[in-house]
Amino acid sequence: MMHAVGRRVRENLWPVLQQAAAAALSWWIARQVFDHHVPLFAPIATLVALNTPVGGRGTNAVRVVSGVIAGVVVGALAYRFLGHGAPSVGVAVLCALLVALLIDGQRITMAQAAVGAVISVAAGQQAGVVRVEDALLGAGVALVFSQLLFPPHPLALLRRAETATLQGLSRALELSARALEASADERTAQPWEELRPVYAVLNDLGGTREDAIAVARRTPHWRGRQGPVHQEIASTRRLDLLGNSCLTLIRGASALDTAHGQGFAHTVRDLAGVLGSLAAAPGSRAVRRHAAGWALGIVRGSPEAGPALPVAVWESVRLVVGDVLVFAGADADRAQQAVREGATEVRLGAPPDLRWPSPRPRRRGRHGPPAP
């Protein structure tokens, strides 16, 4: 428990420090530059924009501004035609939420639109204008922090998501192995509830892919250097297939009788070990090579004839191993060939480099120093 708490603090300490510094800067600018007496909304907008996983902070800032502007405009109109009062607030909030749904339908946009509408109706048009100024300022500071000063590393985002996904799949296979080892009476309590997090990590992986694409397109550090990012994104798409293969294997293995199930438990546990080893360092070529060799060893000599259900489960095992090999960097056709032929190894491509891209060299003139 304490280890998990300590890890959570370590992983989130740097983003938390950024939020604190950005909020203080927003307050200072609103007070000193815009002469707002109590500049509450600027630091609040900054915090709301930055209080999201790294990779989605820039998009969050845009949503904050669009929601606030929509809410203030709707609130100002409601105040002008309906004045103060509960009916005006209700109409303003309803219309602001509908506008936010038209914009993007995101919860943060809807919340900011509703709050902006309430403030405009309750405090008048001038308060709404101040709210927009503070939202623009707070979002601007958030964008400076998230896109210029401390931009996220798209490959690091993807690698963290890969680790979480592989760990989730490894835990699911381990749970399945334990269930297969149990007696017939105990096996009726198949831990499906424990397998549900697999769908969550696969969904999170998809969200991280979208964030990484956005970062690569919008961050100056990565604009024009998107090749490694798209290469890693292709690997994460293979994890989607790997997740489906693992769930198919778990479903098939759970239908085995007790004798065959207990015999399969060791194979399923080995696959869990392969995924766990990959999760430790998914970007390491040595780790990928080790995991690929381990996975090939699991299916080497596996039966292709016999009772229908065990043969089908073995085919699911081969699908899992094939997806592991492709994620590790093997060509899809060569991976399938290696699995079918019982190979001991398969050629793997190099994973993308995690280092920040170096600045592009300036072009030189034909006879002189670098061109300005």
Name residues whose C-beta falls within 8 Å of residue 3's C-beta, 6 or more positions apart in sequence.
none
Q: Within 13 Å and on the Cβ side, how many CA atoms surround 249?
A: 31
More confident residue, 247 or 5: 247
Through-space distance between the first and last CA atoms of the chain, rounded to whole angstroms: 57
Q: Residue 340 has which token pair?
A: 């079918």
Q: Residue 202 has what pLDDT?
A: 87
Distance from C-alpha of 341 to C-alpha of 368, rounded to nearest angstrom: 59
Is residue 365's pLDDT more than 70?
Answer: no
Q: Residue 157 has what pLDDT?
A: 84
Least confident of 2-16, 140-154, 249-263, 344-358: 344-358
Q: What are phi and psi of 303, to 5 degrees?
A: -70, 145
Phi-psi region of 85 (alpha: psi -120 to 50; beta: other; left: phi over 0): left
Q: How confident is the model at residue 294 (pLDDT cuts 50, 70, 90)?
A: very high
Give me Rg for the CA atoms of the chain: 27
The pLDDT tens digits of the residues spanning 304-358 come to 777 888 899 999 999 999 999 999 999 999 999 999 888 888 999 888 765 655 5
Q: Residue 309 has what pLDDT?
A: 87
Q: What is the mean pLDDT of residues 99-127?
A: 86
Measuring CA to CA, how many Å separate 306 from each of 269, 309, 312, 320? 22, 9, 10, 20
Q: Residue 325 has what pLDDT?
A: 94
Measuring CA to CA, how many Å separate 56 from each of 53, 81, 227, 267? 6, 38, 20, 39
Q: Residue 8 has what pLDDT?
A: 78
How many helices (DSSP H) and strands (DSSP E) are in the chain?
14, 0
Distance from C-alpha of 39 to C-alpha of 201, rounded to nearest angstrom: 39
Q: Residue 368 has what pLDDT?
A: 44
Q: Residue 177 has which token pair?
A: 């192995």
Q: Residue 187 has what pLDDT?
A: 56
Average pLDDT, the chain: 84
Is residue 372's pLDDT more than 60?
Answer: no
Q: Amino acid identity of 149?
A: L
The pLDDT tens digits of the residues spanning 162-187 come to 999 999 999 999 988 988 887 666 65
Q: Residue 350 has what pLDDT?
A: 82
Is residue 101's pLDDT more than 70?
Answer: yes
The pLDDT tens digits of the residues spanning 255-291 come to 888 888 888 899 999 999 999 999 999 988 999 999 9
Q: How confident is the model at residue 363 (pLDDT cuts 50, 70, 90)?
A: very low
Q: Residue 146 has what pLDDT?
A: 81
Q: Determine what percent of the chain is predicted with pLDDT higher than 70.
A: 87
- DSSP helix/strand/coil, 344: coil
Q: What are phi and psi of 370, to 5 degrees?
A: -55, 140
Give me the residues paired with residue 364 across strands. Answer: 370
Q: Residue 170 has what pLDDT?
A: 94
Q: Residue 52 has what pLDDT?
A: 77
Q: What is the mean pLDDT of residues 63-70?
A: 89
Q: 143: how many CB neighbours lie within 10 A of its CB?
A: 21
Q: How confident is the model at residue 123 (pLDDT cuts 50, 70, 90)?
A: confident
More confident residue, 303 or 98: 98
The pLDDT tens digits of the residues spanning 203-234 come to 888 888 888 887 777 776 666 677 788 888 88
Distance from C-alpha of 285 to C-alpha of 239, rounded to nearest angstrom: 17
Q: Residue 150 has what pLDDT?
A: 82
Is the distance from CB of 279 to CB of 242 less than 8 angstroms?
no
Q: What are phi and psi of 139, to 5 degrees?
A: -65, -35
Measuring CA to CA, how many Å separate 75 from each of 42, 93, 125, 338? 19, 8, 8, 65
